[in-house]
Amino acid sequence: MHGGHIIEGKAVTPGAKTFDAIAPATGQPLGPAFAEGGAAEADAALRAAAAAFEPYRALPPADRARFLRRIATEIEALGGTLIERTMHETALPEGRLQGERGRTTGQLRMFADLLEDGSWVGARIDRADPSRSPLPKPDLRRSAVPLGPVVVFGASNFPYAFSTAGGDTASALAAGCPVVVKAHPAHPGTGELVAIAIAAAAAAEGVPAGVFAHLQGSSHELGRALVTHDLTAAVGFTGSLRAGRALFDAAAQRPRPIPVYAEMGSVNPVFVLPGALAERAEAIAEGLVASATLGVGQFCTNPGLVITVDGEHTQRFLDAAARAAAAVQPATMLYPGVCHAFREGVERFASVQGVDVVGRSSTDADPASNDAGAWVLSTDAETFRSNRQLADEVFGPSTLIVRARDVDELEALVHELDGQLTVSVHATTADLAAHPGLVRAAERIAGRIVFGAFPTGVEVTHAMQHGGPYPATTDARSTSVGTAAIERFVRPVTYQDAPDAVLPPELRDDNPLGIWRLVDGRLTRDALA
């Protein structure tokens, strides 16, 4: 490990300005010293990316697929070295990191499969009609082209799956876009190891070295330089609302605006209806606390808000949640700042008149090891409504249970909530039939609606939507998880009356890729007659 950047496949060793990786469990620095990148490194990486764009996008999809698969095997080849480094940098447990690594390599292979399948480009062909009057109808063929160099910000809470070789990197590379990653400063060593694996995969597969760069830095300067650079074509970010909005605002002021896919705050409300409460108050409470404290509550889909209805079974629910919380062992959070913000956040909530602390971990959290324990808070709808801050995200293992008078008030609260990644609904068939507006209201605010379960598991599949209205993300029209994520980094181009020889393979008469195409409005895999 050299602590430097990787630009065009080469290590750029740190200069005079460096920063340390800190082990959150001890507060102690972990070597080596990491480079502080700035505008110069951003410029070098983006120039290399821009130069690599044309040859990279010209590669056949099968070659890009091979590159993605090779990245996966190179990451696997890092073995325990990678896992161990990440454990030190993030305090995440070994099993979780092994799982996340599998998810990350699985994502890379999923996009490789998608490229080989080929139909993702959404090819459309409208055939010519030379005899149309008054004017002949031209031949039109539409497919997708990659946007250009993509800047990806590593996320602190997913050191693999949303960082250096994470979802945005995988989907952008699959789409044909070079990627410049800004590593998260909380796990720079993890980032470097994965970046070396990607560079090795590029070298092994003959992919231009400029398609990938990895920059280190702990300042805002580097991020801002990347987002405002003229050669940047799109941005992927996962992190706080404050940081995401700052990048969005910087990008909006560019002479040439670009898409910014920032995934930010979400409290992922859980609605518990009276029938479900009567049937299984304890099971829902236990599931809730397990979901809210999973991974020390450090998931973007963490259920931080529960809305239920006051009634004869509500106390059962609160009691069971309190018992479950008491049994939760405090654990180290990702980095000191996030742990401090969590403590400050739950204490701020608890100090609001009308908010009760229903339950907490029975073991005290040790501030020296940046520990956080479970917190379950509760309040009524009126207090919730009159204290807007209670709807804000507190990142960590806490949840706030709001008691509405009845389902009508619960439904009214849904309409007052901001955009969310997810909404979860615990309801019986009778609950849902009696309140048809609830799911419709959930559709208005969320990207995913979960029934009878909790939102923390995010499947990596075709039908996943991981995204939601602002402030959950800055672009609810796209997903950061699943095969549809590739659509973030492409745009359509139509070819009119083009000779077959200049068309991309997916639009040629003989359909050499054998993909699905919309021909004169009809889906078919046939060649043109």
Footprint of a copy of itself on 15-54 (CB under 8 A): 54
Least distance (Å) between residue 184 CB and a copy of itself: 24
Percent of residues in the chain assigned helix, strand, coil, to nearest 5: 45, 20, 35
Q: According to CB under 8 A, which one of 124, 229, 343, 403 is a site residue for a copy of itself? A: 124
Q: According to CB under 8 A, which one of 390, 471, 480, 513 is a site residue for a copy of itself? A: 471
Taking Cα atoms as reference points, which of 374, 174, 378, 184 lies closest to residue 272?
378
Is 476 an interacting residue with respect to a copy of itself (CB under 8 A)?
Answer: yes
Footprint of a copy of itself on 234-253 (CB under 8 A): 248-249, 252-253
> Of 95 and 351, which has the nearer Cβ to a copy of itself?
95
Rounded Cα gap, residues 179 and 64, in angstroms: 13
Q: Are strands 420-426 and 446-451 parallel, antiparallel or unpaired?
A: parallel
> Catalytic annotation on 339?
no
Q: Which stretch binds a copy of itself (CB under 8 A): 2-10, 336-344, 355-363, 464-472?
A: 464-472
> Catalytic annotation on 263?
yes
Rounded Cα gap, residues 160 and 104, in angstroms: 6
| Residue showing tokens 């950047």 | 5
Rounded Cα gap, residues 219 and 224, in angstroms: 9
> Of 510 and 520, which has the nearer Cβ to a copy of itself?
520
> Of 160 and 248, which has the nearer Cβ to a copy of itself?
248
Of all helices (H) and strands (E), which one includes residue 341? helix 336-350
Least distance (Å) between residue 479 CB and a copy of itself: 7
Is 484 an interacting residue with respect to a copy of itself (CB under 8 A)?
Answer: yes
Q: According to CB under 8 A, which one of 80, 106, 354, 457 is a site residue for a copy of itself? A: 457
Taking Cα atoms as reference points, which of 164, 219, 242 lies closest to residue 196?
164
Helix, strand or coil, per DSSP, at residue 500 = helix
CB 69 within 8 A of CB 111: no
| Residue showing tokens 């020296």 | 368
From 8, 41, 74, 300, the catalytic residue = 300
Footprint of a copy of itself on 68-97 (CB under 8 A): none
Is 65 an interacting residue with respect to a copy of itself (CB under 8 A)?
Answer: no
Footprint of a copy of itself on 383-422 (CB under 8 A): 419
Of all helices (H) and strands (E), which one includes residue 382? helix 381-386
Q: Which stretch binds a copy of itself (CB under 8 A): 41-49, 292-300, 389-397, 493-501?
A: 493-501
CB 406 within 8 A of CB 438: no
Q: What is the total count of residues that contact a copy of itself (CB under 8 A)?
A: 75
Tell me the catalytic residues.
263, 300
